[in-house]
Amino acid sequence: MIVLKSRQEIALMQASGAIVAEILAQLKAAIRPGVTTAELDEIAARETRRHKARPAFKGYEVAGRVFPATLCVAVNDEVVHGIPSPRRTLQEGDMVGIDFGVCYQGFFSDSAVTLAVGEVDEESRRLMRVTEESLWLGIAQMKVGKRVGDVSAAVQEHVESEGFSVVREFVGHGIGTQLHELPQLPNFGQRDRGVRLRAGMVLAIEPMVNAGGAPVRVLSDGWTAVTCDGSRSAHYEHSVAITEEGPLVLTASGEKRVASLGTASGRDQAFASGAPLQGESQA
């Protein structure tokens, strides 16, 4: 069942998303050669407590396995779901994916970003740029009357036009009072197929893109997914509410949310015509 959210619920989800955006910005500032992924996790855990939220992933259970940390951290050929460790020190030239979510006042938000550690090579920069572009191209399709396949195809077409591959084994998802709700939102698919998008749906869109082939495998820790061919992988994610006035990016902050969508007026309208959305003034 797909749960539609009211304007009031979307306002709460925006407050939840703003916490995630703020903490991701703090993590971005903390990334440098020499920092361990466990240190990043400690920052996220502390800041989540300070915002009176709780981590979305810690304690998350799949097939009897419990995820032990606040962040999922994926370095280089790691795709998603890496476990932070005091033994994992970031090096100059690494690229690191940080996936983070919280539950705040009963509502989840989920976001991810991939960042360069110091200077990275040209192909890594291109991989990050194309993956982030595919995220925003997908978001631009998240309008009432479009279908899930329109979003999926927009992501896939851009990624493949650049010679990269989308991961098949992990997909985006609905989000709300549960971290993972229906519908699933794959990063591959066909236009005009799948569930039709309606106002009040909230979806986490999360392109996972490999520089080489699409196949991934999970390491013996039961969580960390890596590319089978050892190529690097990038991951970006936003939680997005579908409104009559267009997509509302709950986990983006400030300028970016407006500029990248290229629909600033549509977004302003969303606020003008609805209930006041919490936390908007400092966004």
For binding to Mg ion (CB under 5 A), which residues are involved? 99, 110, 112, 204, 206, 237
CB 271, min distance to Mg ion, A = 25
- 122 in helix, strand or coil? helix
Task: Return the structure tokens found at 160.
Answer: 């493949």
CB closer to Mg ion out of 205 and 245: 205
CB closer to Mg ion out of 149 and 207: 207
CB closer to Mg ion out of 41 and 99: 99
Are the beta carbons of 136 and 122 closer than 8 angstroms?
Answer: no
Q: How far is CA 29 from the centre of its chain?
A: 18
CB closer to Mg ion out of 183 and 266: 183
CB 132, min distance to Mg ion, A = 15
Residue 2, CA distances (Å) to 61, 148, 201, 244, 248 in order: 22, 13, 8, 17, 18
CB 205, min distance to Mg ion, A = 9
CB closer to Mg ion out of 14 and 245: 14
CB 111, min distance to Mg ion, A = 6
* Number of helices and strands in the chain (H, E): 6, 17
* Measured distance CA(191)–CA(120) in Å, rounded: 35
CB 22, min distance to Mg ion, A = 16
Are the beta carbons of 113 and 24 closer than 8 angstroms?
Answer: yes
